Structure 1
């Protein structure tokens, strides 16, 4: 298999060593402290990318992992997903035991060969099946916006970055010519400007695809948390000149991920005169 350029490998190794000392993850602590019913994981979704495409206020947290396998190993250690019901489009769950009550491997039946991805709806439907059966809490791990980047046009999902075929054709290549996504990027085989545009299109389409279902869950008085397992990098200086999501590199573009809580507002039952005044003040009607 074609290897990464030596200078890139050295930089990545150095960042792995340094960032391992300075990492300060808080995502799992926040999950433990939050009484959530549904957890939606957007694979490889950067905080700043989601903030860019949504009008919703997006908070941030620090993931303990910079790649899905790394994140799942941390889940295994922290126990944050113990006794949950997981619907996942990511095959990595087959390699880890996070202590879930049940894992529905949606990718087994809904892998899209044409797109090289698992679309959001089958994962959301599997999560709904768990909820309909009275199971709580539920985790829906979507594969987009993870590469290959896909986006929705009308009711159809299409490649948001057709050049991604350099990765999807890997199985047919000779061993000495295979290119992983990270190697393809680091070696200059990918138009990074187009890759970034495709990624943002995928983030936006994925966000728009999940909102109706999240609305239904909130209407059912469920508390929904949206976050990500890790981010993505595109070789910019602010990305530490990294590409993709290398393992165990705790730098901001890879571990700073979204944190959004959707929940019903608590009802106000005090209709006294004093409470009316409080409501007026809350609306800005004060002298």
Structure 2
């Protein structure tokens, strides 16, 4: 896989190709989720519902580890169930609420209900305490119990985050201080890791390998070469010093899945998304006609 052809690390990761530039642009656009609105009612795919969970957690100001747990619980559920047989948005809402309990994050059920409802309906109004509110509340509580049974009450999940923090500390010690300050490698790696939770792959891959793949991709995006250490193309790349289980194939697999998430984002979300500014202009045009 790595000896010949256009798929070698030297070719794929030795330069800033169009994919890297696209990912870099997405990573530096902190407001991309704010500037666009996804019409979730148009899709029930696992990728789109995962994006829904990420957006709701952001609006709830949940901890990043809570967000990761919510997505992981959602993926674990649908690793055992057919997504066509259940309401994925209800399971997503239950996953958020349960993740708040698991990670000791204070997510009130009423806040979860209001954010989930507002995100699905694209409404800025708070849901009144009426029949609709109580029906949604009962549905989420029942879905939470069902979710617990489906994941066999195994809700504690080992995430790659702690490994990534450890690896970033090592890389900072290896890099020149000016380079470390010049390139936002930690922020990029953290963002890539959170975005990877769109993909069920994240719950099946060794978390320590996931963290290395995410970090390697962040380094490649900014063209950073660790001084006096071998790159991914070497017989003994730099990450083998941190993790003996790591191999070029496994790290490359993680990097490929990360890049696949961003490709999937364009494919799955753009057709059902609208830019908020564009929508406001169209509404203004209708009102003034």
TM-score normalised per structure 2: 0.27
Higher relative contact order (CA 8 A, sep 6+): 1
Q: TM-score, normalised by structure 1?
A: 0.27
* Structure in which a larger fraction of residues adopt strand: 1
